[in-house]
Structure 1
């Protein structure tokens, strides 16, 4: 551990200050680049499934959309627990110089956490059909969604185990193999989906696409586990050694840190899910325009999301070393990268909204004429919140590197559900602004959350090290 001065700051690094900043920038870019590509590859899996389901018809697509909504809400909750692997391992590496037992035990606890939550979540998803029918969905649609889910649900466990392994490799600053596994799964998922779902192959319909997703998730996990076992540079960690051993103390730490992360993710995901449901009440044109704007926003978000994951590791390493200057440097570099990229995205969306809409809709079709002006307006809103969205994501990653998750959870819940949803609903229905009101609520909630998270970061890093 480096020597600390009386204020709790580490002794000054020997290297010139500009070299320290350049070193941090290079390290963040090297780590975040593969993580961004992994995010894009996994987003590609969702997009590929959506396209194939659409080819089966509007009914299967609608039923699968209902099923995916339930699946991903629970998956995000599981991600909160597996998301603790990276900051805990990074902190252990910084503290102990890469002490192998702590790294292995942390991954083991993440694997146990993923397994323990997968069982009840998969049991709940088994009854998706009756659950959807109970909340008023059309019986035929609920039944089709339930049948699809009884196949898709089996992807939950391997997918969460993959995320735990990915987090460990990111914390070890070796994310390349997770990228290879994600890229390899994409063509496999498409090829299997086409063969299993359509009449030219097995003709299983929706179940075939669900089965392809399950096989792809298991393949990704198996490939990554094989690499972990075979990579000589990872041998000293023995990452999967004794994986069956139960470590209640560390598992409690994973749940204590991870449950607020899960709640934060659910608060944000619930905001967007509620907005989509509300938008449908204002007609097909506004719903279609909303879908276009959200897809553009989601694509841009993959970059700051990857930078946020890198920030968790880089801040966690400095936190483990008790280096206040290193913590601040890692956070500011990540925040600057996200701010710059999302500013570029915002300017692009402001400049060419019609061209961006044309990537998703045939603007020559008369049926889409009513969608274009609404989509242009919604893309303008998306441009307004782009920077705030990137900043809040990276700020969350920075704070997770400090293992600060409880206060950010309350900030997210308060900003999204205490402000964003009520304001959006009031403007949409009370003031008659419809979808425009919902997007105003989006922007307000994201701006408040981003601002409060950055202020939280500044407070924690202004003096002595937190924790």
Structure 2
């Protein structure tokens, strides 16, 4: 059967049917971290600052290791389009293997994180609290990476509803355990940041178990967990070959924001707390673009497997248009209503509430300027992954984030003295560079493929 003639409305509907549950699951996953930030912000500003520092550190290692899961998504989508069920099983299993090997390598760094925080010139009290959090929450990386592999597998099969509802269940569970352990309710000890860490570990483990049960029962034809301990070196090599550049690309982008957190820490606890809130808010909007990018990866991976350049181009244009429209809307919200957004994260009796909000308003104004660029770069990366192009994008991302974005943040924030706003404008510069370079890379690749 020849490919269908492209139609914007039909393609947009198809993309949203696949993408909305993915967006919902990303937002729900974000809500887990958001709940931690809000509850710890109510507990104390010091606890919030420690969670920002520790959470950023954990996320760096998590997002880098997620490269193997992101590789699974286009590989499974293409295998399904080609009717290769065995390849679906092989790729998913070895995605789990690669993730576990990676987790074992980075776990010791999180358990011994206090020394690293002090070397980065962080406040000793904040560093100690952050290390207390990571001694427990660091173990989250094992179930979290396997969850990512299973989510990518299910997304490629277009079984996104279950991903959404399992993640929503995790939000509810995490909030409940946080309420008990952070504040010492229901007779439990008051554990503060350690309580939040325990809640994260419980929630992620429960999510993994739920997804494993679903995959075993709903997709028996793939037998994902049958003889999962047996190595498949060829498939493992393919996953690693595609996944490690994705992981480094993720690291480059996350490192940009992590470096900004370190710089904000140099400015003090209050700027770091305001930065953490602003990062949470921009991360919420980013999850929408990530979901659309994931859906575009699946659709483009299918078109790639079917050798359909016309369908791939049409789908890419639709995805980019939807993402850009949302970016414009969120930029307006950041500019018009910054104070109510910042207020959500701070208790009404917090003595530093006004100071943190004042700093955060300026940061959100800067964040509004990079919404479209952030949307563009994540969409371009998703499309490039679908067509197995990951190494050159890794280099382009590294140049954009580390050679352009971070130096600009330091120069504007400290050399010119613009403080936190200058740091955030530097972030915007790096994201604009990435969006332009990666977008150009994809469209040039597509032109060559169509010839």
Same fold (TM over 0.5): yes
Equivalence for 1:429: 414
Equivalence for 1:171: 156
Q: Which runs of 5+ in 2 are unaligned?
A: none
Q: Which moved more, 1:42-51 or 1:136-145?
A: 136-145
The change in CA–CA distance for 1:449 and 1:40 in structure 2 (over 3 A counts) is: same
Q: Radius of gyration: which is bigger? A: 1
Shift, 1:443, TM fit:
1.7
Shift, 1:388, TM fit:
0.9
Q: May I ask how many residue pairs the two structures share in their alignment? A: 449
- Whether the 8 Å CA contact 1:322–1:465 is kept in 2: the answer is no
1:438 aligns with 2:423: yes
CA–CA distance in structure 2, aligned partners of residues 141 and 431 of structure 1: 27
The change in CA–CA distance for 1:236 and 1:146 in structure 2 (over 3 A counts) is: same
Q: Equivalences for 1:199-210 in 2 at 5 Å?
A: 199-200=184-185, 201-203=187-189, 205=191, 206-210=193-197
1:26 aligns with 2:13: yes
1:394 aligns with 2:369: no
Shift, 1:143, TM fit:
4.3
Equivalence for 1:45: 32
CA–CA distance in structure 1, aligned partners of residues 124 and 274 of structure 2: 28
SS at match of 2:370: helix
Shift, 1:149, TM fit:
2.1
Report the TM-score when normalising by structure 2. Answer: 0.91
Shift, 1:118, TM fit:
1.1
Report the TM-score when normalising by structure 1. Answer: 0.88
Q: 1:229 aligns with which of 208, 216, 225?
A: 216
The change in CA–CA distance for 1:216 and 1:355 in structure 2 (over 3 A counts) is: closer
Q: Which runs of 5+ in 1 are unaligned?
A: 3-11
Equivalence for 2:178: 193
- Whether the 8 Å CA contact 2:37–2:345 is kept in 1: the answer is no
The change in CA–CA distance for 1:465 and 1:78 in structure 2 (over 3 A counts) is: farther
The change in CA–CA distance for 1:464 and 1:387 in structure 2 (over 3 A counts) is: same
The change in CA–CA distance for 1:352 and 1:460 in structure 2 (over 3 A counts) is: same
CA–CA distance in structure 2, aligned partners of residues 160 and 208 of structure 1: 22
Shift, 1:196, TM fit:
3.6
CA deviations on 1:105-153 (whole Å, 9 max, x unpaired) are 1100101011111111112222223443455555555444334322212
Equivalence for 2:301: 316
CA–CA distance in structure 1, aligned partners of residues 346 and 50 of structure 2: 22
1:125 aligns with 2:105: no
Equivalence for 2:370: 385
1:76 aligns with 2:66: no
1:350 aligns with 2:339: no
Equivalence for 2:286: 301
SS at match of 1:76: helix
CA–CA distance in structure 1, aligned partners of residues 309 and 434 of structure 2: 24
Shift, 1:371, TM fit:
5.4
The change in CA–CA distance for 1:444 and 1:130 in structure 2 (over 3 A counts) is: closer
Equivalence for 1:270: 255
CA deviations on 1:36-83 (whole Å, 9 max, x unpaired) are 111111111112222333454444444444332321111111111221
